[in-house]
Amino acid sequence: MKTLISLCFFLLLSPLSSSTLLPISNLPSIQAEKLIRELNLFPKDPINIVDRDESEPARPSLVENRFKFPNLPDPFVPAEDLGHFAGYYKIQHSHAARMFYFFFESRNSNEDPVVIWLTGGPGCSSELAMFYENGPFSIAKNMSLVWNEYGWNMASNLLYVDQPIGTGFSYSSDKRDIRHNENGVSNDLYDFLQAFFVEHPEFAKNDFYITGESYAGHYIPAFAARVHQGNKAEEGIHINLKGFAIGNGLTNPAIQYKAYTDYALDMGIIKKSQYKRINKKLPACEAAIKLCGTDGTISCLASYYVCNTIFDSIMSIAGDMNHYDIRKKCVGSLCYDFSNMEEFLNLKTVRDALGVGDIEFVSCSTTVYQAMLVDWMRNLEVGIPALLEDGIQLLVYAGEYDLICNWLGNSRWVNAMEWTGQKEFVASQEVPFEVDGSKAGLLKSHGPLSFLKVHDAGHMVPMDQPKAALEMLKRWTHGSLSGATAEPENLVSAM
């Protein structure tokens, strides 16, 4: 199967053939390496996890520098005026882990919200989103950068983090720092955020929003709960958490896997007879997920294999259809081509600007992917109601043409979620989400909860509908998703 990790993405859901029954012990390494190699994103030298050298000298917890990418379209804008930062944070509660990040100050106002973006995978770099979805710029074929007029830094102070450890430029010299569950992932992110606001205290008072895509449907609720917990316990700097947004995510597998055949039938991918045949696999999947629960280990790995035979069966019928956007075909060995990002990040001038030295950039880490397989089928919806009850906003949005994390499955788990406003949310009417007088989606909201089905978009909404995605962010962070927001008055057009 031709598979592409689409940022959040990147939800590497393509399973082994259901007719190939391999021992569970062989599944993770074979599958992860096979899938990522097919993406043409397999690193030349996968991240090297070795025992820590105790003689390694101590380093500052956060090493950050202002930078300016070479080949920018505005050569006379100094780095100091751009407000672009890149750096490493030595994770406080780790053995030797260092987390890499980008930070782009808002092109509108430093008082705009701080928005963090988490890419999925698990194990895929957030640079994928930065260059292909909602970052300040994209990469042209000649390796020059082009400003993105719909980058989310037009309305927010924007953070991209390579996480979990072992993803992108993030690394460790100690194998004990590899994470296997959301507890480890969210604690690392919380430690990073505390260090970031120590370095940038001027942004600590700003509203804070967590966003991301695909497997980040796991990361985001766990991270939001960790931030909220830290605030309540007064652990460190108070983080002004206002909301979290999940784009085409995997959050409640029990409901979402059941929706695969329904979506495929509705969209004409499979026929009724095929639908009935594939649905015979559902009872085994549901039983396996139940055993996994929220904290299983081996049972969760087993459920990953059992349930993915459903998706595999659909794709065996769909053939070369792009499962991130069913309107498209996979071209050649890939569904999308992200190779110019790796070429760009391997330029010496770029690496010098970022201060990453000779560290190997890992687009999608097999080490991280394998380690997180036991986390895949866990239900991360369970912690969301408590956040809603405390007034933390949740926006779930999904492009209508994505199969792998389709809007139908996402809509179903959102509607099924039990909280005090559930009845009112279920009963609320869908209203058009309009951008510049055109219908860009359908919106359903009640209180702090909103669900948006985005028209003419696949798995990567900010890539397919950049203008609508930026408008969505603006309205949501201003508390007015159903209505237009005022245009910024002090936008710096030169950037």
The model's pLDDT over 156-194, given as tens digits with 9 standing for 90+, comes to 999 999 999 999 999 988 899 999 999 999 999 999 999
**Dist CA 236 CA 239 (whole Å):** 9
253, amino acid identity: P
Domain count, the chain: 1
* Average pLDDT of span 293-319: 90
DSSP string across 348-373:
HHHHHHHT-TTPPPBSB-HHHHHHTG
Query: Is residue 38, in this structure, part of any structural domain at all?
Result: no
Contacts with 286 (C-beta within 8 Å, 6 or more apart), sequence order: 254, 258
Residue 37 clears pLDDT 80, i.e. is over it:
no
Distance, CA of 20 to chain centre: 30
With bands split at pLDDT 50, 70 and 90, how would you rate the model's confidence at 360? confident
Question: pLDDT tens across 436-466, in order?
Answer: 999 999 999 999 999 999 999 999 999 999 9
Q: Is pLDDT larger for residue 354 or for residue 492?
A: 354
Radius of gyration of the chain (CA): 21
Do the domain assignments include residue 457?
Answer: yes
Helix 282-292 and helix 298-318, axial crossing angle in degrees, nearest 10: 150
The DSSP string of 67-129 is ---TT-S-TTS-HHHHTEEEEEEE-TTSSSEEEEEEEE--SS-TTSPEEEEE--TTTB-THHH
pLDDT band at 38 (very low <50, low <70, confident <90, very high): very low
pLDDT digits (tens, 9 = 90+) for 244-262: 999 999 999 999 999 999 9
Across the range 76-89, mean pLDDT stands at 80
pLDDT of residue 185: 96
pLDDT grade, residue 56 (50/70/90)? very low
Question: Active-site residue numbers?
Answer: 214, 402, 459
Q: Which residue has the higher pLDDT, 390 or 484?
A: 390
pLDDT at 334: 56
Q: Distance (Å, rounded) from C-alpha 83 to C-alpha 322?
A: 37
Instruction: Work out the pLDDT band at 63, boundaries 50, 70, 90.
Output: confident
Any idea what DSSP says for residue 421? T
Greater pLDDT, 429 or 342 = 429
Q: Are 481 and 395 in contact (CB under 8 A)?
A: yes
What is the pLDDT averaged over residues 294-312? 89
Q: What pLDDT sits at residue 332?
A: 52
Does the residue 274 lie in any domain? no
CATH number of the domain that 67 lies in? 3.40.50.1820
Contact 124, 380 (CB under 8 A): no
Does position 416 have pLDDT exceeding 60, yes or no? Answer: yes
**Structural domain containing residue 391:** 62-251+378-477
Computed over every residue of the chain, the mean pLDDT equals 85
Once rounded to an integer, what is the mean pLDDT over residues 24-31? 40
Q: What's the pLDDT score for residue 494?
A: 32
Tell me whether residue 132 is in a domain. Answer: yes
Mention every residue, 6+ apart, whose C-beta is less than 8 A from residue 233.
Answer: none
pLDDT digits (tens, 9 = 90+) for 270-288: 999 999 999 999 999 999 9
Of residues 487 and 41, more confidence is placed in 487
Residue 49 included in any domain: no
pLDDT bucket at 80, cuts 50 / 70 / 90: low
67 vs 449 pLDDT, higher one: 449
9 found inside a domain: no
pTM of the model: 0.88
Whole-angstrom distance, CA of residue 243 vs CA of residue 237? 18
Q: What percent of the chain has pLDDT over 90?
A: 67
* Per-residue pLDDT at 28 exceeds 50: no
- Residue 420 falls inside a structural domain: yes
First to last CA, the chain: 41
pLDDT 10s digits, 136-159: 999 998 898 999 999 999 999 999
Q: Determine, yes or no, domain membership for 394.
A: yes
Give the model's pLDDT for residue 253: 96
